[in-house]
Amino acid sequence: MHCKFLTRSSQSSQRAQREDRVGHTPEFLRVLCVIKFTLIIFFLFTGCTGLIHRGGEFLEGSRDRQVLVYRGEQVLVREMVSAEGANFIEVSHRDWPALAFRGSMPDSSGRVHFTEINFLSTHVHGWNEFSLDVLGSAVFRVTPGGDLVFYMEGDIERVQISGGRILLRSNLLTGTSALVPLRNRRERILALIEWMEKLEFESQRDFENHFKPILFPELILPRSRPGAYTTENAERAWADSVRWNHTYTENNFPFELWEYRNTGAMLRDWEEALPWIFMEYSFDSIVRSFVN
């Protein structure tokens, strides 16, 4: 057995050789760590900002500018200027900040003609944002004392979604890629609320607490399920991690909604668009509440 003893000078020499082979001196390593840390922060920041998309600020391509604001107890009226230089009115409600009616500047009689509404429906994994064409009018004027007068003239007719965006987790859809799924989802929502019993609810939470046990008793504690729900001799099948009771579906829903519920699509819409469902369900009462 041969042992090799190194002197201090030989140890220093070999350490220097190792450092030369690696190409890193202690000072160089410190500088390299700083550079690596800076690059990590940079890529994290740019990566995150590339994935974060803020909903509710504007629809794709919009660069509208606020000029004047008129505040009432319930209603907020903004005079806006579009990117093309056209003036228009945007109206929102204290209880519905995610919903905005847009229309022409008031004529000599104070009448505003609405052309669209913008709506932002959020959920835990993203949002649906869209512009919906409408037909209807309202009266808007400011008294000599500076008070805001505003009220809707009858019903507002909803026509068709004309544009929007969808964010689901890190996936952002815009343009035609968003338009088709937004329109399809709205068709499903309208079919659902047409079947729903028409009631008045103070809040979205009340709406959810009432209808969720009826729509999805499989997800509710047994003691909270509706009396019509039973698993005895029921035909059941799995879809989207839920074992749906097809017998309950057939006994309590119209034929047009059977596939919608049994495939889990109804639950996806509920989880990803509940504010939207509540808005469509409550739309007529929302319109009536726009009074100042």
Domain count, the chain: 3
User: What does the mean pLDDT of the chain come to?
Assistant: 86
**pLDDT band, residue 75 (cuts 50/70/90):** very high
Looking at the fold, whether 162 and 74 belong to one and the same domain comes out as yes
**CA angle (158, 160, 164) in 5-degree steps:** 115
Q: Domain range holding 222?
A: 204-287
Distances (CA, A) of 34 to 18, 22, 28, 274: 23, 19, 10, 47
| Residue at which a domain ends, from 173, 195, 218 | 173
In sequence order, the 6+-apart residues with CB closer than 8 A to the CB of 259 are 265
Are 138 and 217 members of one domain?
A: no
Does residue 182 lie in a domain region? Answer: no
pTM for the structure as a whole: 0.80
**Residue 56 domain-assigned (yes or no):** no
206 vs 74: CA distance, rounded Å: 21
pLDDT in tens, 137-188: 999 999 999 899 999 999 999 999 999 999 999 999 999 999 999 999 999 9
Among residues 154, 173, 192, the one where a domain terminates is 173
